[in-house]
Chain A
């Protein structure tokens, strides 16, 4: 009985610790509702840590799709990174609010999370991402861009070497 209690305590503690770790960065929330017959309704939330971890895992695969995205995003990566870093200093702030006849767009940080809300006649989108995760995403994309550049360099030099032979 005592052994069982000890095992239960161990399992419970591990579960509590891992849950706390998974959620320590917060959650990414996405809600999309299309206001039309047959329109899609997407509602999900995912622990932000899993996104960072997922991107890290994806980068282990050679020529992963992240590299292609990183190459396309490359010119904007420095700005994205600086912005993510700076956003951390403003955990509760309103950055953009646009209201017109058809829709309302609102971008703000609330409790350290970037919130983008678009409420329109035809669709509603709510996105919530912890600012810390944006930094992780920027880091992963920069790594992927570097890796793509290295692969390109090796590929080019390899071709040259082959041609000279």
Chain B
């Protein structure tokens, strides 16, 4: 074997090794871009144990995975609603009414037990519920368990913010179905947004969408 052949062989070998080494990196090149939307769920327990749950799911992944799950009421990315649950309530008519109505506050309930506020502003539906009674009961139960005096209760506050386009997409499947995949697509198109915030005596729950691939 002359020198040039040996040199060629060495070069080929080196090239082959480099290609093998780079093979996984090449597959990673298909990686998602920074503009991908992620749905984040964070649950923080207020008790001494300090439990924290953080879930981050790419919306695109959820869109692909959901149709692959066919179990109970979930099939093809849609959830079947029992007709009994919406009996006597025409959800579509209500949604149509809300969609076509002007921005403003539709429902305001203020009582000793809870406050409810439903409003719409610039294509976004807001639902805010403050439960005072549940908080009192929860605290009383906790105090009784600990054998301590009644402590100050913390209200349960639920804030839901849903773009109307997402609601439309959710109800686009049919009479007795919710189209989760369509709703996810609509959410993804809407961009960064807060979806749900729940604060009560036991937990803080936060659900939001942004383009970061890690939670708070």
A91 proximity list for chain B (CB < 8 A): 28, 31
Contact between B213 and A92 (Cβ–Cβ < 8 Å)?
A: yes
Contact between B50 and A93 (Cβ–Cβ < 8 Å)?
A: no
B65 partner, pick from A75, A82, A97, beta carbons under 8 A: A82
Contact between A100 and B51 (Cβ–Cβ < 8 Å)?
A: yes
Contact between B28 and A93 (Cβ–Cβ < 8 Å)?
A: no
Contact between A93 and B58 (Cβ–Cβ < 8 Å)?
A: yes
B61 proximity list for chain A (CB < 8 A): 83, 86-87, 89-90
Contact between B58 and A6 (Cβ–Cβ < 8 Å)?
A: no
Number of interface residues of A (CB under 8 A): 37
Contact between B21 and A99 (Cβ–Cβ < 8 Å)?
A: no
B60 partner, pick from A17, A86, A112, beta carbons under 8 A: A86
Contact between B49 and A112 (Cβ–Cβ < 8 Å)?
A: no
Q: Tell whether A93 pairs with B56 under 8 Å between CB atoms, given A20-B17, A99-B50.
A: yes
Number of interface residues of B (CB under 8 A): 36
B57 proximity list for chain A (CB < 8 A): 95
**CB interface residues, A 47-87, toward B, < 8 Å:** 75, 78-79, 81-83, 85-87
Contact between A95 and B55 (Cβ–Cβ < 8 Å)?
A: yes
CA distance A51 to B21 in the complex (A): 19
Contact between A82 and B64 (Cβ–Cβ < 8 Å)?
A: yes
CB distance from B37 to the nearest CB of A (A): 13
B1 partner, pick from A6, A24, A100, beta carbons under 8 A: A6
B28 proximity list for chain A (CB < 8 A): 88, 91, 111-112
**Interface-centre pick from A13, A79, A90, A130 (highest chain B CB count, 10 A):** A90
B215 proximity list for chain A (CB < 8 A): 94, 97
CA distance A79 to B56 in the complex (A): 18
A90 proximity list for chain B (CB < 8 A): 31-32, 58, 61, 213
Does A21 sit at the interface, judged by CB under 8 A? yes
CB distance from B208 to the nearest CB of A (A): 15
Does B11 sit at the interface, judged by CB under 8 A? no
- Chain B residue nearest in CB terms to A102: B49
CB distance from B6 to the nearest CB of A (A): 8
Contact between A78 and B60 (Cβ–Cβ < 8 Å)?
A: no
A96 proximity list for chain B (CB < 8 A): 54-56
Does A98 sit at the interface, judged by CB under 8 A? yes
Does A25 sit at the interface, judged by CB under 8 A? yes
Does A101 sit at the interface, judged by CB under 8 A? yes
CA distance A130 to B30 in the complex (A): 15
Contact between A101 and B17 (Cβ–Cβ < 8 Å)?
A: no
**CB interface residues, B 190-216, toward A, < 8 Å:** 213-215
CA distance A96 to B16 in the complex (A): 38
**Could you list some 9 contacts between A and B, CB below 8 A?**
A9-B9, A13-B9, A17-B20, A78-B68, A85-B64, A86-B58, A88-B27, A89-B32, A92-B213
B-side interface residues toward A, CB under 8 Å? Answer: 1, 9, 13, 16-17, 20-21, 23-24, 27-28, 30-32, 45, 49-58, 60-61, 64-65, 68-71, 213-215
Task: For the A-B complex with A90-B58, A91-B28 known, give 8 more contacts whose Cβ atoms are closer than 8 Å.
Answer: A16-B17, A75-B70, A82-B68, A88-B30, A96-B55, A98-B51, A98-B54, A100-B51
